[in-house]
């Protein structure tokens, strides 16, 4: 890489430094995300503490099958994302592209299941501020309010992750290579974070009835 | 594991260290799926007050697996990145602790 050969490692170290900086930046962002969702989880836990019975009743209305299916889908998408980074590090662009594409497809599957779930809720007249919901006990209004807010914010993260994966897929092999894997590495870190958040959302909303 | 991504190089901490191979990724995935099955099964049993603790404990184990292996925290050698997550979790614990002292003893 060095043009004159006097400092064979100089460029490499500059690249290293940049990569390290990118990684630290991503981790800092992940920390802000943990605090963002952490605040919502705290809200959930306090309301659950105060409206114990209503939260259990609300949870009964959620489809455990859909929730479990989506958990498996998201965990598997995390695997394919990790394998994409692994393939890129090993220098196989084609393999990395396949794994990124698989990750996007799993993300799409997750959103489809989520869409059907929300759709069923809407059909039953359950959506924020709906007459049916407002006629329910206070704790259930809070439960569904938190359900729509938290899974909605999470779904937004899935959409953002998929979009960046799509962008990365287009540039894999050109600007994203084994020597410059930071974009793929960072979007994968973000994707794993989205997975971790779902790992907590799933039991707290679907499994407490 | 095969790629010797300059593992030694005189303790150069900026370079990424060794990372898991295909098989360890698949093992972690298998563990995550098993734990998901376990948590769903436990929730269908009637464990009462213990249920929430069990379910949260499994979620904590699952996220640790994701953080350590998928997100490579176990192989991370930069101290700053290693410390970030414990710091943010401690901050969160303080928020939660203070909120609950307010709610419980008001």
What is the residue-wise DSSP string for A130-142? -HHHHTS-HHHHH
- Whether A27 and chain B come into contact, CB under 8 Å, resolves to yes
The answer to whether the CB atoms of B95 and A42 lie below 8 A apart is yes
A10, A16, A21, A27: which to substitute to probe chain B, counting the most B Cβ within 10 Å?
A27
How many angstroms away from the CA of A76 is the closest CA of chain B? 7
Cβ count within 10 A of residue A91: 12
Q: B100 is written with which tokens?
A: 């609950």
Interatomic CA distance for residues A52 and B12, integer angstroms: 53
Answer whether residue A186 is part of any domain.
Answer: yes
Chain B residues whose CB is inside 8 A of the A196 CB are 63, 66-67
Answer whether residue A2 is part of any domain.
Answer: no
B40, B42, B86: which to substitute to probe chain A, counting the most A Cβ within 10 Å?
B40
pLDDT tens, B35-79?
Answer: 999 999 988 887 777 888 899 999 999 999 999 999 999 988 888
Angle between helices A64-89 and A93-123 (to 10 degrees): 160
Answer whether residue A144 is part of any domain.
Answer: yes
- pLDDT at position A2, please? 43
- Whether B83 and chain A come into contact, CB under 8 Å, resolves to no
Residue A13 has pLDDT above 80, yes or no: no
A22, A40, A55, A203: which to substitute to probe chain B, counting the most B Cβ within 10 Å?
A203
- Whether B22 and chain A come into contact, CB under 8 Å, resolves to yes
- pLDDT at position B8, please? 38
Answer whether residue A4 is part of any domain.
Answer: no
Residues B48 and B42: beta-carbon distance below 8 Å: no
Residue A183 has pLDDT above 80, yes or no: yes
The CATH number linked to A55 is 1.20.120.80
Chain A residues whose CB is inside 8 A of the B87 CB are 31
> In the predicted model, what is the mean pLDDT of chain B?
83
- Whether B64 and chain A come into contact, CB under 8 Å, resolves to no
Average pLDDT of the residues in A158-166: 98
Which residue of chain B comes nearest to A85, CA vs CA?
A: B70
Residues A87 and B21: beta-carbon distance below 8 Å: no
Residue A122 has pLDDT above 70, yes or no: yes
Answer whether residue A28 is part of any domain.
Answer: yes
Interatomic CA distance for residues A62 and B55, integer angstroms: 17
Answer whether residue A3 is part of any domain.
Answer: no
> In the predicted model, what is the mean pLDDT of chain A?
92
B20, B43, B87: which to substitute to probe chain A, counting the most A Cβ within 10 Å?
B43
Residue A11 has pLDDT above 80, yes or no: no
Total domain count, chain A: 1
Q: How many residues are present in chain A?
A: 209
How many angstroms away from the CA of A46 is the closest CA of chain B? 8
- pLDDT at position B13, please? 43
Predicted structure pTM score: 0.88
Residues A161 and A187: beta-carbon distance below 8 Å: yes
Which residue of chain A comes nearest to B55, CA vs CA?
A: A203
Interatomic CA distance for residues A161 and A196, integer angstroms: 14
Chain B residues whose CB is inside 8 A of the A31 CB are 84-85, 87-88
Instruction: Give, in degrees to the nearest 5, the angle at Cα B53 between B47 and B59.
Output: 115
Average pLDDT of the residues in A186-193: 97
What backbone phi and psi angles, to 5 degrees, belong to B2?
-70, -30
Residue A147 has pLDDT above 50, yes or no: yes
Answer whether residue A5 is part of any domain.
Answer: no
Residues A150 and A127: beta-carbon distance below 8 Å: no
Interatomic CA distance for residues A147 and A121, integer angstroms: 11
Confidence tier at B11 by pLDDT (50, 70, 90): very low
**Going by C-beta distance under 8 Å and a sequence separation of 6 or more, which residues neighbour residue A17?**
B14
Residues A68 and B40: beta-carbon distance below 8 Å: yes
Answer whether residue A167 is part of any domain.
Answer: yes
Q: How many residues are present in chain B?
A: 106
Q: Is B52 exposed, middle or buried (0-12, 13-18, 19+ CB in 10 A)?
A: middle
A174: containing domain: 10-206
Confidence tier at A21 by pLDDT (50, 70, 90): confident
Residue B4 has pLDDT above 50, yes or no: no
- Whether A208 and chain B come into contact, CB under 8 Å, resolves to yes
Q: Which among A172, A203, A192, A34 has a CA at the least distance from the CA of B25?
A: A192
- Whether A12 and chain B come into contact, CB under 8 Å, resolves to no
pLDDT tens, A99-113?
Answer: 999 999 999 999 999
Confidence tier at B2 by pLDDT (50, 70, 90): very low
């Amino acid at each position: 890489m060095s043009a004159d050969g006097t400092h064979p490692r100089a460029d490499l170290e500059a690249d290293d430094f940049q990569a390290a900086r990118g990684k630290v930046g991503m981790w800092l962002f992940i920390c802000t995300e943990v605090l963002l969702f952490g605040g919502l989880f705290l809200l959930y836990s306090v309301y659950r503490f105060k409206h114990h019975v209503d939260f259990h009743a609300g949870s009964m209305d959620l489809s455990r099958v859909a929730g479990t299916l989506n958990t498996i889908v998201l965990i598997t998408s995390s695997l394919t994302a990790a394998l994409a980074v692994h393939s890129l590090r090993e220098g196989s662009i084609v393999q990395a592209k396949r794994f990124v594409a698989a990750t996007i497809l799993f993300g799409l599957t997750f959103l489809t299941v989520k869409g059907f779930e929300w759709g069923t809720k809407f059909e039953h007249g359950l959506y924020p501020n709906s007459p049916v919901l407002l006629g329910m006990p206070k704790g259930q209004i809070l439960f569904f309010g938190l359900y729509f807010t938290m899974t909605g914010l999470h779904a937004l993260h899935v959409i953002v992750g998929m979009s960046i994966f799509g962008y990365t897929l287009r540039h894999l092999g050109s600007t994203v290579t084994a020597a410059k894997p930071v974009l793929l590495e960072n979007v994968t870190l973000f994707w794993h974070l989205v997975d971790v958040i779902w790992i907590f959302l799933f039991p707290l909303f679907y499994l407490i009835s | 594991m095969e790629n010797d991504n300059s593992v030694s190089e005189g303790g150069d901490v900026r370079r990424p260290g060794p990372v898991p191979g295909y098989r360890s990724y698949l093992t972690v995935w298998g563990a995550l799926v098993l734990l998901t099955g376990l948590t769903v099964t436990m929730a269908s049993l009637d464990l009462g007050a213990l249920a929430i603790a069990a379910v949260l404990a499994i979620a904590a184990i699952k996220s640790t697996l994701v953080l350590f292996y998928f997100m490579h925290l176990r192989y991370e050698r930069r101290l700053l990145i290693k410390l970030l997550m414990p710091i943010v979790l401690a901050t969160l614990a303080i928020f939660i602790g203070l909120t609950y002292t307010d709610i419980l003893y008001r």
